[in-house]
Amino acid sequence: MIDDRERSVSDYRKHGFIAGLPALSEDQVTALRADIEQLERNHADGAGGHALDQFFRVNGHVAIPQLAEAARTPAILDMVEAILGPDLLAWSVELFIKKPGSTKTVSWHQDITYWGMGETDDEVTAWIALSDVSIEAGCMRFIPGSHKGGLVTHEDTFADDNLLSRGQKIADVREEDAVHGPLKPGQMSLHHGLCFHASGQNSSNDRRIGLAIRYVTPAVRDHAPGRDWAMPVRGETPCGGWDCIAGPRGLFHPADLALYDRILAGQAQTLAAGAGDKVGMYSQNADRRM
């Protein structure tokens, strides 16, 4: 008999995404959202020369314990393990926040375009809703099956109303083929790094908060150039070619802030390649464009 998890994995393999899976309990969502909003109140200026938004948008798990902890959530890992196998690392933990009424959007893109991982199947994003992420609130939409066609050309727009690092976008996506992935608080979607996806404005009255956790396997770096860092979250021998990190020693611990800078500088070589200083997210200078 096919159980729910097998059916979800089979849908994921067929379509390149799946939405509406349980990830966090009501209490866990309430606690995590409260922690994030407390950070916004108490650490509005960020830390170590980086704006808080920069930690939220890239590698938050290196310096913020609650984000590292979220990446170790058993219900999320069980589902990711069913797709990627037993040895798992978190490569990045990020927050995608749209204020009520925000006109910010995410253009059609494939995640792994600039990640230096090739066209791997060994990466998956778990995107967890920390608020009601309805169509009105600007949930993600996906093009089913688009993960099977390889990487396509993206144009870097650097548009201000785009939440992506380069405002990168794929031209010629057939909007009529798109499937929305609305999520209730605590639910998650999973998407393949090659799956075309995008999201719209937040026309709701609440913030739209998504936690994106990028999971990888040790094999991802077998043929990858340069260095990259990831945090083991499950398995016996998860490091492979990754530089393994243990996770934060405390909130904005000085040693973790130094590590954050090293990782950012290393990843910028790949993720900001060819964009000059326009990819603020990977800049050591927090005042530049985010």
Report the residue from 112, 212, 272, 281 that binds ligand AKG according to the rule CB under 6 A: 212
The residue among 87 and 123 lying less far from ligand AKG, judged by its C-beta, is 123
Residue 256 interacts with ligand AKG (CB under 6 A)? no
Q: Which of 189, 206, 216 is nearest to 128 (CA)?
A: 189
Report the nearest approach of ligand AKG to the CB of residue 253 (Å): 27
State both tokens at 201. 């404005």
CB of 236 to ligand AKG, least distance (A): 28
Q: Which is nearer to ligand AKG, 50 or 57 (CB)?
A: 57
Number of residues that bind ligand AKG (CB under 6 A): 10
Q: From the list 127, 142, 242, 260, which residue makes contact with ligand AKG (rule: CB under 6 A)?
A: 127
Strands 187-192 and 123-129: antiparallel
Residue 56 engages ligand AKG in binding (rule: CB under 6 A):
no
Residue 217's φ and ψ, nearest 5 degrees, are -110, 170
Q: Which residues contact 151 (CB under 8 A, 6 or more apart)?
A: 110, 112, 113, 119, 194
Is residue 117 a contact residue for ligand AKG (CB under 6 A)?
no
- The answer to whether residue 108 forms part of the interface with ligand AKG (CB under 6 A) is no
Helix axes 74-84, 4-15, angle to 10 degrees: 60
Residue 198, number of CB atoms within 10 A of its CB? 20
Contact indicator for 149, 193 with CB cutoff of 8 Å: no
Applying CB under 6 A, among 210, 218, 232, 248 the residue interacting with ligand AKG is 210
Our finding on whether 77 is near ligand AKG (CB under 6 A) is no
Q: Does 125 bind ligand AKG (CB under 6 A)?
A: yes
